[in-house]
């Protein structure tokens, strides 16, 4: 099948592309490489869809939200978090609903901070939770057998290593990618797949 992956050069996105491209046609999109898209700009998402034409699945691993203590969050931090990670993914579904083939799927990204917050995670926890609420409800309204799910990853091993932190509590990116593949190739809709643990869990 023909799959559009937005955020294809991030740690998780690249792992998703590697997992999918062995048996599917993958169209890689991102902010600064592959097919270009600015997820905070509705028109940019519409242009991307006009450019790629019909696809069978859309996977999104892109989207930034602020990580900063509640009382240090500027209005602009909150606005960018909502416009980027939340509304970017919401618009990917709204605008893509006409573009996907019957039975096609959207797989979005939230993150475990939605339900396991840390100090400083308010904007990210709010946005991730919103994505999970969106997915559960949007699944009920999509036509033509279209599906929508989200993967909610914990810290990723490779990201922790790149930050100079102990990678051992992290989930390998390849394991996280396995959950995205499940959403694309499976039948589920309206689901949030938590990826807490090691590689075995996501197989």
Q: Which residues bind a second copy (CB under 8 A)?
A: 42, 69-71, 73, 75, 78, 82, 86-87, 90, 93-94, 97, 113-115, 117-122, 124-134, 136-143, 190
Looking at the Cβ atoms of 74 and 162, the one nearer to a second copy is 74
CB of 182 to a second copy, least distance (A): 22
Q: Please tell me the distance from the alpha carbon of residue 61 to that of residue 51, in angstroms, as a whole number.
A: 20
CB of 135 to a second copy, least distance (A): 9
Residue recorded with tokens 């579904």: 93
CB of 145 to a second copy, least distance (A): 14
Question: What angle do helix axes 122-138 and 88-96 make, rounded to 10 degrees?
Answer: 20
Q: Please tell me the distance from the alpha carbon of residue 177 to that of residue 48, in angstroms, as a whole number.
A: 23
Looking at the Cβ atoms of 18 and 103, the one nearer to a second copy is 103
Read out DSSP for 118-133? -TT-HHHHHHHHHHHH
CB of 125 to a second copy, least distance (A): 4
Q: How far is CA 83 from the centre of its chain?
A: 14
Looking at the Cβ atoms of 50 and 199, the one nearer to a second copy is 50
Looking at the Cβ atoms of 20 and 113, the one nearer to a second copy is 113
CB of 8 to a second copy, least distance (A): 25
Q: Please tell me the distance from the alpha carbon of residue 126 to that of residue 114, in angstroms, as a whole number.
A: 6
Looking at the Cβ atoms of 50 and 162, the one nearer to a second copy is 50
What strands lie across the sheet with 192-195, from one edge to the other? 35-36, 25-30, 2-6, 55-60, 100-109, 147-153, 192-195
């Amino acid at each position: 099948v023909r799959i559009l992956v937005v955020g294809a050069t991030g740690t998780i996105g690249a792992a998703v592309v590697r997992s999918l491209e062995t048996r599917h046609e993958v169209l890689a999109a991102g902010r600064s490489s592959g097919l270009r898209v600015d997820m905070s700009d509705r028109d940019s998402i519409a242009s991307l869809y006009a450019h790629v034409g019909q696809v069978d699945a859309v996977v999104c691993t892109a989207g930034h939200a602020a990580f900063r203590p509640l009382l240090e969050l500027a209005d602009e931090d909150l606005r960018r978090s909502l416009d980027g990670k939340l509304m970017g993914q919401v618009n990917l579904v709204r605008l893509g609903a006409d573009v996907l083939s019957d039975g096609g799927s959207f797989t979005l990204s939230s993150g475990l901070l939605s339900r396991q917050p840390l100090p400083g995670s308010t904007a990210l926890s709010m946005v991730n939770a919103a994505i999970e609420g969106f997915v559960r409800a949007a699944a009920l309204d999509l036509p033509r057998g279209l599906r929508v799910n989200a993967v909610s990853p914990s810290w990723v091993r490779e990201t922790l290593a790149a930050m100079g932190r102990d990678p051992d509590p992290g989930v390998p990116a390849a394991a996280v990618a396995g959950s995205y593949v499940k959403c694309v190739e499976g039948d589920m809709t309206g689901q949030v797949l938590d990826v807490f643990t090691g590689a075995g869990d996501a197989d």
